[in-house]
Structure 1
Amino acid sequence: MTLYTAIPKKLKPFYTTELSKYQIAYAQGDLAGAWYHLERAHIIGQKYPYAHTYVHWKMLQFGIKIKNRKEIIGQIPRLIFGGVKSFVGKIPVGNPGGANVPPLKTFPIAHDLQEIFAKAQVLSN
C-alpha cells in the first residue's frame, strides 16, 4: 500500500473548491451550506494527512465561531489524531468528520464524490 502525505494534484482542485465554497457560504451566513462543504472537503482529503488535518482545523474554527461546544470538544481529538490515522492508512472512508458522527464509522460515499475520485484517478479507500 502506498501512503501519500499530500493530496494528489488531480484531486486538489476538488478539495480546494469545497473549501472555497465553505468560505463563501459562511460569509453569506449560510451555516448549513458552509458545514456541508467542510464535510465534503473532509471526505475528499481524509486520506491525506495534511489535507485531513487542515479540514479538522477548519471544523474546529467553525465550532468556535458558532459557539458549538460539542463541535469544539469533538474536533480536538480529531485534529490531533486525524492526520496520524491518514498517515498510517487507517481512515473511516466516507466519514464526514463532524462531532455529530462517530469518528471511526465508515459511511457510503455520495455518487458525485465517487465521480470526483474517478476523475482524479484516485481510489477513495
Structure 2
Amino acid sequence: MSHRRMPPAVRAAYRTEMRAARTGADPGIRWQHLERAHILSQPWPWPHTRNHLAMFTLAVAQRDRREAFGQVIRIIVAAPGSALGRYPEGNTGRARVGLTQPMPMPADLAELLQVAQGEPGPGVIP
C-alpha cells in the first residue's frame, strides 16, 4: 500500500479492534482483536509496531514467554518491514505463525484494505 498515512476508514477499524483488545475480558477474544488489528496495520510502520507492542503486553500479562519473545522479534522488524512493503498479507502477527507466512485474510478486512487502496472491493461495482 503506497499511502503514507493510514486511510480514515482503515484507521477507524484499526482503533476499534485495538480498543476491543484493551477492554475485552476474555483473553482469547482479546487476541482475536489484536490479530485483526495486525492485519489492518501491516502496511503502516507505526500502527504495525504499536500492534506488536500490544501483543507483547498481553503475552507478558498472561506469562506466555514464547509469545512474548516472539513479539520482541516482531517489534524489531515491524516498522522496517512495513516501510519496505515486505510483510505477508493476512498474517495474524502471533509468535506461532511464521514471520513471513501469508495467511487467508478475513473478507471484511480484505475489502476494507482494497477500497482504501482505491481498488473496488468484491461487492463494489465500478
Q: Could you say which TM-score interval applies, normalised by the shorter chain?
A: 0.7 to 0.9
Q: Distance in 2 between matches of 1:72 and 1:96?
A: 15
Structure 1 length as normaliser, TM-score?
Answer: 0.87
Residue 106 of structure 2, aligned match among 102, 110, 114: 110
CA displacement 1:14-62 (0-9 Å, x = unmatched): 000001111121xx2x000000000000000111000100000000101
* Aligned residue number for residue 84 of structure 2: 88
Amino acid of the structure 2 residue aligned with 1:71:
E
* Aligned residue number for residue 123 of structure 2: none
Q: Which of structure 1's runs of 4+ aligned residues deviate more than 4 A? A: none
Identity of aligned pairs, percent?
34
**Structure 2 CA distance for partners of 1:69 and 1:105, relative to 1, 3 Å:** same
Amino acid of the structure 2 residue aligned with 1:100:
R
- Equivalenced residues, count: 119
Matches within 5 A, 1:1-125: 2=2, 4=4, 6-25=5-24, 28=25, 30-121=26-117
SS at match of 1:10: helix
Q: Distance in 2 between matches of 1:122 and 1:101?
A: 29
Q: Distance in 1 between matches of 2:99 and 2:115?
A: 27
1:121 shift after superposition: 4.6
| Runs of 5+ unmatched residues, structure 2 | 120-126
Structure 2 length as normaliser, TM-score?
Answer: 0.87
Amino acid of the structure 1 residue aligned with 2:16:
T
Q: Distance in 1 between matches of 2:37 and 2:118?
A: 15
The structure with more radius of gyration: 2
